[in-house]
Amino acid sequence: MPVFEYQALDGKGKNRSGIIDADSVMDARQKLRQSGIYPTNIKEAPDRLKTSTGGSKSKNLSLSNLFARISPSEISIMTRQLATLVSAGLPLVGAINALLPQMGNPAFKRTLAQIKDHIVEGNSFANALGLYPKIFSQLYINMVRAGEASGAIEIVLERLAELSEKQQSLKNRIRSALAYPILMVCLGFSVLFILMAYIVPNITSIFTDMDKALPGPTVFLITVSDMIKSFWWVILLGIFLIFIILQQIIKTTRGRYWKDRILLASPLVGTLVQKLAIARFGRTLASLIENGVSLIPALEIVKNVVGNVLIAELIENAAEDIGKGEGLGNALSKEKIFPPISIQMILVGEQSGELEKMLNKVADVYEGEVESTVMALTSMLEPLMILTMGLMVGFIVVSILLPIFEMNQLVK
């Protein structure tokens, strides 16, 4: 059923806007009038991803779709609300219909309305979600499919909401911890840039009339300052181009591989990346197994959410070994990426028949370690940043004072 966007006036003459599903524009107008809303403009809402009956997909490149963005937090909130409504006894279509007026993001509202229409037309919820792979992950779709197959969709939605909420909470805590150091670094280098481009040249201009040779640090400072003042736009453009080139390289398979390899090999960042990937692995795999997804298909899904190519390759190889009869713990222990304690916990879970429980414990342990590692890194970054800025400012001050001291000696 098509979805229409409308602008209208209510009974009090106030402007209203929203979306409504109907068979035609005339049907949409009639529905609105029956609800006491008088439309002034109605048009069919553009699909973000329209799928024909033959299964071919065509992208709509309108400006509204180009800049529309649905954040993971919005999906998390929608999942929690949908789980609550379904658990309360509402049918799935009715629950989605009840959520539509509450959606603040127009793009997400259109998407949910279209998903509801696909379900009404006879598609399963999982298949309807699968038409929007840029919004709903394979993890989300496969867990919903498992919930539909087992008849426990409300439980699956609850677990999906818990999983996404925990992941969002961890991301928010990491961002909060890193926000202050990143802000201070940006402000510090901005101040240094202004200092070198505008203030230092005005001060060092008094040395141009001196017949005596200037000290080496002063000459170096003047040279760098003149370069920044004359070619600041080239420097900024160069930094921007380097950033764009690196972004394009990282998008390639080889570039992504080397980026992840370098990150894992880094002394401090590597530990953080490893622990974060293991936490995602444990939490996601536990959720999939709890909802009836068998181990090998679950590993195929999990390898796409760990966020590191090398760890994804390890998980893929482990899936192949499990297909040959090996256990999960032994398959993962062949590489040194997974720490021994995580392997031991997985082995205990396999032996006791409580693999999901132990995977959740692995996730809890490493999520806690991620937070402590981030806090340790930020506590190291702050004094290191202050020391670096102090050394740079100190060098500028000393370079300016050296010729002044020499001038004083000449006067004496």
Looking at mean pLDDT, say which of 149-153, 254-258, 289-293, 300-304 comes out highest. 254-258
Residue with tokens 């795999």: 285
> Taking residues 303-315, what's their average pLDDT?
84
> Taking residues 32-44, what's their average pLDDT?
75
- The whole-number pLDDT of residue 409 equals 65
- The whole-number pLDDT of residue 48 equals 43
- The whole-number pLDDT of residue 237 equals 92
Higher pLDDT, 8 or 352: 352
| pTM to 2 decimal places | 0.65
3-state secondary structure the chain: CCEEEEEEECCCCCEEEEEEECCCHHHHHHHHHHCCCEEEEEEECCCCEEECCCCCEEECCCHHHHHCCCCHHHHHHHHHHHHHHHHCCCCHHHHHHHHHHHCCCHHHHHHHHHHHHHHHCCCCHHHHHHCCCCCCCHHHHHHHHHHHHHCCHHHHHHHHHHHHHHHHHHHHHHHHHHHHHHHHHHHHHHHHHHHHHHHHHHHHHHHCCCCCCCCHHHHHHHHHHHHHHHHHHHHHHHHHHHHHHHHHHHHCHHHHHHHHHHHHHCCCHHHHHHHHHHHHHHHHHHHHHHCCCCHHHHHHHHCCCCCCHHHHHHHHHHHHHHHCCCCHHHHHCCCCCCCHHHHHHHHHHHHHCCHHHHHHHHHHHHHHHHHHHHHHHHHHHHHHHHHHHHHHHHHHHHHHHHHHHHHHHHHC
- The whole-number pLDDT of residue 245 equals 93
Angle of the 253-265 helix axis to the 309-323 helix axis, nearest 10: 100
Is residue 91 pLDDT above 70, yes or no? yes
Q: At 159, is the pLDDT very low, low, confident or very high (cuts 50, 70, 90)?
A: confident
What count of Cα atoms within 13 Å lies in the side-chain half-sphere of residue 80?
Answer: 12
Is residue 62 pLDDT above 80, yes or no? no
Tell me the per-residue pLDDT of 222-278, one tens digit each, with 9 for 90 and over.
888 888 888 888 888 998 999 999 888 888 888 888 888 888 888 778 888 888 888
- The whole-number pLDDT of residue 101 equals 80
**Please, what is the average pLDDT of the chain?**
80
- The whole-number pLDDT of residue 410 equals 56
- The whole-number pLDDT of residue 64 equals 44
Is residue 106 pLDDT above 90, yes or no? no
Higher pLDDT, 115 or 206: 115
Higher pLDDT, 200 or 391: 391
> Taking residues 341-362, what's their average pLDDT?
89
